[in-house]
Structure 1
Amino acid sequence: MPETRPFDPFHSERLIYRAVNDEPADIAFIHSIQRDAEAQSGSSYSLLKPESIKASTEFKSHIEKCLLGALICLPATRLAEKDKETLPIGIVCLKASPPSHAHHRSSDISIDIAKEYRGQGYGGEAIRWALWYGFQMAGLHRISIGTFSFNTGAMRLYERLGFVNEGRHRESMWFNGGWHDHVVYSMLEDEWLEDQRKAGKEV
């Protein structure tokens, strides 16, 4: 009989995805992500202000309430981390719909990658995994993702991953002395399946 690999839904090619643990190291990592002004300015309408440990702890509860909320991790292979199984480098979430909207089978992706790990393809890999999880495991029909018009790198990434540009909310964000559009992308289940078939992947 042909050898089959064990089913492991919480791995992608280079990354491991795990829950946020109720321990100081995970809270400290969330805090480091949440206080990164560059990252937060590109992903949130909220007015930037210094991030407290209390606010980061509360954000942990938000992650846990998502349809999917996971730390994006690398295997901890360095000698200094020999007592750890994983090294967190980011956070990915599929937001939960309220119960009255659940029949629409739709969600939004949010993603943050720690500054020192950006530009290495980890964000794209984690988004591809979240798409797989959303469509194959959670039974979603539509997944959306958005960014602001000054974040041209994010827009290029989303288009390269196969998201369709749905349009923009014009000048909906005031940031750093100017108005910026919120650009909205989405992918449907059939579009994702077609991309998988073209790539020769089994689904």
Structure 2
Amino acid sequence: MFSQKPVLTGARVTLRPVGPEHADGLLALVSDPEVRRLTGSHAVPDPEACRQWCATRAGQPDRLDLAIEAGGEYVGEVVLNELDPANLSCNLRIALIGARAFGKGYGTEAIALALGHAFRTTPLHRVHLEVFAFNDRARHVYKKLGFVEEGLLRDALRWDGEWHDAVVMSVLRPDWQARSETLP
């Protein structure tokens, strides 16, 4: 379903298929302490693993990994993964490179472009995600783009000795279609 790896262009960002040229940007992203907290990533960043990961994304027909670029610079990634073709569903995840990319509308536009691609060019019916309850900024963006809170995964993340819940959210094709004229 994601065998085509498009370039998607918006007013602020361009989404490009992840390739080897994005390895340094990905390493910076996964090394940022705030990004690690927001994504719940406990893994130790590994430069070679980042290079291998970026080099293999083009050959994955069941997922779409897109680098977010602004002004020609890597500022993050947005991914459609965990494809469930029988139920026409997939997961969305996004990460921005940190303070230099936060609050500029890059994430909002990247998600809108990814959803537009998913709902215009594939038969997908549902796109879902999880976001930690403490991430108010992301939850606000997801709601603005049509995601609905469906439930709570209690104590899903242990970070610095404290437990945090994850909020499950989704957007359905009919909901997106009804709102798509107002999205970037």
- Same fold at TM > 0.5: yes
Determine which structure has the larger strand proportion and give its number: 2
SS state of the match for residue 56, structure 1? helix
Q: Which residue of 1 aligns with 2:44?
A: 50
Q: Which residue of 1 aligns with 2:16?
A: 18
Aligned equivalent of 1:91, options 77, 82, 86: 77
Question: Is 1:193 equivalent to 2:177 in the alignment?
Answer: yes
One-letter identity of the residue aligned with 1:160: K
What 5-or-longer segments of structure 1 have no aligned partner?
A: 1-7, 76-85
Question: Is 1:35 equivalent to 2:21 in the alignment?
Answer: no
SS state of the match for residue 162, structure 1? coil
Shift of 1:146: 1.5
What 5-or-longer segments of structure 2 have no aligned partner?
A: 1-5
Q: Cα 1:200–1:15, aligned 2, differ >3 Å: closer, same or farther? A: closer
CA distance in 1, matches of 2:34, 2:80: 22
Aligned equivalent of 2:110, options 110, 122, 126: 126
How many residues are matched?
176
One-letter identity of the residue aligned with 2:162: G
Q: Which residue of 1 aligns with 2:96?
A: 113
Identity percentage of aligned residues: 28
CA distance in 2, matches of 1:59, 1:175: 25
Q: Which residue of 2 aligns with 1:5?
A: none
Report the structure number with the largest CA radius of gyration. 1
Aligned equivalent of 2:167, options 183, 186, 199: 183
CA distance in 1, matches of 2:183, 2:157: 40
Aligned equivalent of 2:142, options 149, 153, 158: 158
Higher relative contact order (CA 8 A, sep 6+): 2
Any conservation in 1 of the 2:78–2:93 contact (CA below 8 Å)? Answer: yes
Q: Which residue of 1 aligns with 2:85?
A: 102
Shift of 1:119: 0.7
Report Cα offsets for 1:98-145 as digits up to 9, x if no partner: xxx412111111111112111111101111111101111122100012
So what's the TM-score if we normalise by structure 2? 0.86
SS state of the match for residue 95, structure 1? strand
